[in-house]
Amino acid sequence: MDCPDIDVNFAEETGGWSSALHIAVWRDDPIITSLLLAHPAIDPNVQDGAGQTPLATACTIDGGMCFRMLLRNPKSDFSIADDFERIPFLRIAQRAAITNAKWWISFERPVDFGEEGRRTDLLMAARRGMNDHDPEHQSAKADMVSLLERYREDPDGVRQEARVSLGWYNLVAAELFALVVFFCDGLLRIREVGKEEEPRGSEEIRRFLRISGQLPLELQMVLCRRGVGSSLGNIAVNDSEAAFLDLAKKSW
């Protein structure tokens, strides 16, 4: 990442012309995503072979951490359409990603309802959805259509409603993001040039991230907020995963 010859926006042909940021976001990997976004040469709006930006990719992963990172990024462009004339929020509507829709509205990002009856028609995209054979998607699709219809009539009211429903997340989202960046910059980087020596504590950090990934996102955020993440040096590598998860539940 520190090498000036590395093109951080390079798109690989066999991956559908996806960049490293596209892949990191698709995997919802906050560690790699935060490292890439911190690079001065990164273009968060680089498009893949289908014209999709990393944000458009993230929009399809409901409740994804990387989606919120890109939503907050000041360089993100929310109006770039892909080769099928789909802007990022239309992808949210298609996938019935209701949590992402609430985040989008809560942060006052632009909501373009498009041209009625055309590809850009936001409500039509929400009504059609992407997987009509999935009962859960059917339910989420109905919720999405209802949210958009109410937003069109009363944007301020729906925005306030979204902020209330996501209020607890908003309290800890910035803190969690800062913690992720701290992990990346302070513990997971190789600091000595020419030596493949990992910083002290990196094994504990990796283990924490792997085990805590089994927990619901809400609980992961509570762990970070209450300082469990900052005391990882006290968690021995040979501790049982059951003991760690028990500690997590007590923190909750």
Report the run of H or E that residue 118 belongs to, with start and end.
Answer: none
**Same domain, residue pair 230 and 112:** no
| Amino acid identity, position 178 | A
Both structure tokens of 139: 């339910």
pLDDT value, residue 173: 54
Interior CA angle at 84 toward 69 and 100, to 5°?
Answer: 30
pLDDT value, residue 11: 81
**Same domain, residue pair 86 and 181:** no
**Same domain, residue pair 202 and 149:** no
Per the domain annotation, does 3 fall within a domain? Answer: no
State the CB neighbour count (10 A cutoff) for residue 239.
14
- Cβ 18 vs Cβ 47: under 8 Å: no
The pTM for the full model equals 0.68
Both structure tokens of 236: 């021995």
Q: What CA–CA distance (Å, rounded) separates 57 from 41?
A: 20
Which range of residues forms the domain containing residue 155? Answer: 11-165
**Same domain, residue pair 151 and 194:** no
Q: Where among 145, 165, 185 does a domain terminate? A: 165
**Same domain, residue pair 198 and 131:** no
Per the domain annotation, does 43 fall within a domain? Answer: yes
The count of domains in the chain is 2
Q: Where among 132, 165, 198 does a domain terminate? A: 165
Q: Where among 123, 148, 165 does a domain terminate? A: 165
β partners of residue 12: 18
pLDDT value, residue 222: 43
Low-confidence ranges of the chain (pLDDT < 50): 171, 174-175, 185-202, 204-205, 211-241, 244, 248-252
**Same domain, residue pair 179 and 197:** yes
pLDDT value, residue 164: 86
The 8-class DSSP code of residue 7 comes to -
Per the domain annotation, does 5 fall within a domain? Answer: no
